[in-house]
């Protein structure tokens, strides 16, 4: 079974803190994604990566950065957390390189609260 | 602009049918459907790659009309396990709809 794990299920941080969310997949997938999920807005893509050290912006990259130094690991970084970044963050992975027409496997999510 | 799903929510009795629609103002090259149960991660249901393609998963099927830039998901003879939020995802540019909450009651 494909497994996508995220470092924390729940996280509470203060405004201005630097926050790292980690995601690891064990199926040698080329693509990895970070989404945030908010009520009424569904899943919105923040960044995705189709290879090590490669990244592309999604719809809402402002206030976020990412890092992919190893194929299995994709990190989301909030340089200076703000209250409007309180949300559920979901990581996903899929086969396919730059072809994104493949099934995505999602992690359990990290619920981040910024106070 | 993300795909638009309708309805936002639907309540069904076990055994009833429902249709969830997903439409886009942009060209759709493929459509993905996912289901997310409460407190869980979204789970893949199916991908439709060609206009007119239809697929099925259990008694859940979908169609994709490329010309109309829309896809529909059909829940047939619904079961309690069908409860959850259904998302369509459009590719060309990776975007998901806001979701349709489905509640199936006994």
Task: Write the residue in A33, A40, A103 that is nearest to B47 by C-beta.
Answer: A103
Residues of chain B with pLDDT under 70: 51-56, 92-93
CB contact under 8 A, A105 and B44: yes
Q: Which residue of A has its CA nearest to B96?
A: A43
pLDDT in tens, A70-106: 999 999 999 999 999 999 999 999 988 666 678 899 9
CB contact under 8 A, B87 and A101: no
pLDDT in tens, B55-82: 667 789 998 888 888 899 999 999 999 9
Q: Which long-range contacts (CB under 8 A, 24 or more apart) does A98-104 make?
A: A98/A50, A100/A31, A100/A48, A100/A50, A100/B91, A100/B94, A101/B29, A101/B30, A101/B47, A101/B49, A101/B91, A102/A31, A102/B47, A103/B32, A103/B44, A103/B47, A104/A31, A104/A33, A104/B32, A104/B34, A104/B42, A104/B44
């Amino acid at each position: 079974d494909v497994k996508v794990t995220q470092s924390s299920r729940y996280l509470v941080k203060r405004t201005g803190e630097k926050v790292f969310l980690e995601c690891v997949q064990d199926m040698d997938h080329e693509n990895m994604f970070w989404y945030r999920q908010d009520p009424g807005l569904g899943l919105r893509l923040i960044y995705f990566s189709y290879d090590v050290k490669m990244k592309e912006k999604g719809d809402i990259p402002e206030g976020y950065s990412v890092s992919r130094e190893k194929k299995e690991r994709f990190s989301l970084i909030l340089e200076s957390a703000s209250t409007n970044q309180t949300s559920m963050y979901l990581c996903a992975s899929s086969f396919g390189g730059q072809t994104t027409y493949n099934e995505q496997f999602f992690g359990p999510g990290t619920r981040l609260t910024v106070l | 602009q993300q795909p638009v799903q309708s309805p936002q929510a639907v309540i069904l009795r076990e055994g009833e049918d429902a249709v969830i629609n997903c439409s886009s103002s942009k060209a759709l090259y493929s459509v993905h459907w996912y289901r997310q149960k409460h407190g869980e991660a979204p789970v893949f249901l199916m991908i439709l790659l060609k206009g007119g393609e239809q697929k099925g998963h259990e008694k859940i099927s979908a169609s994709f009309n490329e010309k109309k830039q829309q896809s529909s998901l059909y829940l047939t003879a619904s079961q309690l396990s069908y409860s959850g939020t259904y998302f369509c995802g459009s590719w060309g540019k990776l975007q998901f709809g806001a979701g349709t909450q489905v509640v199936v009651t006994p």
